A and B are shown apart, each in its own frame.
Chain A
Amino acid sequence: SQQGEEDPQALSIQEGENATMNCSYKTSINNLQWYRQNSGRGLVHLILIRSNEREKHSGRLRVTLDTSKKSSSLLITASRAADTASYFCATDGSYYGQNFVFGPGTRLSVLP
């Protein structure tokens, strides 16, 4: 079974609007990362947030982490058509060598 679960499964918004995606996980983590994937191609790393951090920003991206609720959110502000992609959260375990566990992803469509 997958550790991370993104919500919603699909999201459709207009250009310029904000997009929020959520991720929940089950066990303790060292860090949580968000990745983007365009049309079944390779994953692109967006942002990493460590377990002792609560919020992190990178350009138009804002990620929060609530370890008490075992959840994270990814906010994309002022969305663009080029943001259309699938977004995945990935968690790693609390000891070295544990693999990344990905959720099923949120498919974001940004309409012009």
Chain B
Amino acid sequence: ETGVTQSPTHLIKTRGQQVTLRCSSQSGHNTVSWYQQALGQGPQFIFQYYREEENGRGNFPPRFSGLQFPNYSSELNVNALELDDSALYLCASSLVLGGTETQYFGPGTRLLVL
């Protein structure tokens, strides 16, 4: 087990709705990254937070937003859901001290948009 948890495990929403996914990082980890994984594909980087500030963003529109809190938890918010947002959403936490780090992944939240 990686010590990273995510909630909920599964979620069904309809197009146009908003969703909040949650992640609890490993204690002491200062960085959290979020990924979207479509069926049969590799994870795609959404964004990364370091010490509660966004520290890099992938090719995702602004309706994907996030927060990182001092208690090692974080959120991914998606507004105006589209059918293509249906995917497995993974968070990964790491301790960045400069340079190389290993990311520890949670089990993911599977989102279905109807």
Contacts and interface: CB of A to CB of B under 8 A. Distances in A.
B70 interface: no
Contact of B33 (A33, A45, A99, A105): A99
Contacts, number: 67
Nearest to A33: B102
Interface in A23-67: 30-31, 33, 35, 40-45, 48, 50
B2 to A, nearest CB: 7
A102 B92 CA distance: 13
A109 B22 CA distance: 32
B99 A40 contact: no
Contact of B96 (A31, A45, A96, A103): A96
B2 A44 contact: yes
A100 B103 contact: yes
B90 A98 contact: no
Contacts of A68: none
A96 B58 contact: no
Contact of B55 (A31, A42, A97, A104): A97
Contacts of A50: 100
22 contacts: A2-B42, A4-B42, A30-B100, A33-B102, A40-B37, A40-B110, A42-B4, A42-B106, A42-B108, A43-B90, A43-B105, A45-B2, A45-B102, A48-B102, A50-B100, A92-B100, A96-B96, A99-B33, A99-B56, A102-B35, A102-B43, A105-B41
Interface of A: 2, 4, 30-31, 33, 35, 40-45, 48, 50, 88, 92, 96-105
Given A35-B105, A45-B2, A102-B44, 13 more contacts: A4-B42, A31-B100, A40-B37, A41-B107, A42-B90, A42-B105, A43-B43, A43-B105, A88-B43, A96-B96, A99-B48, A100-B45, A100-B103
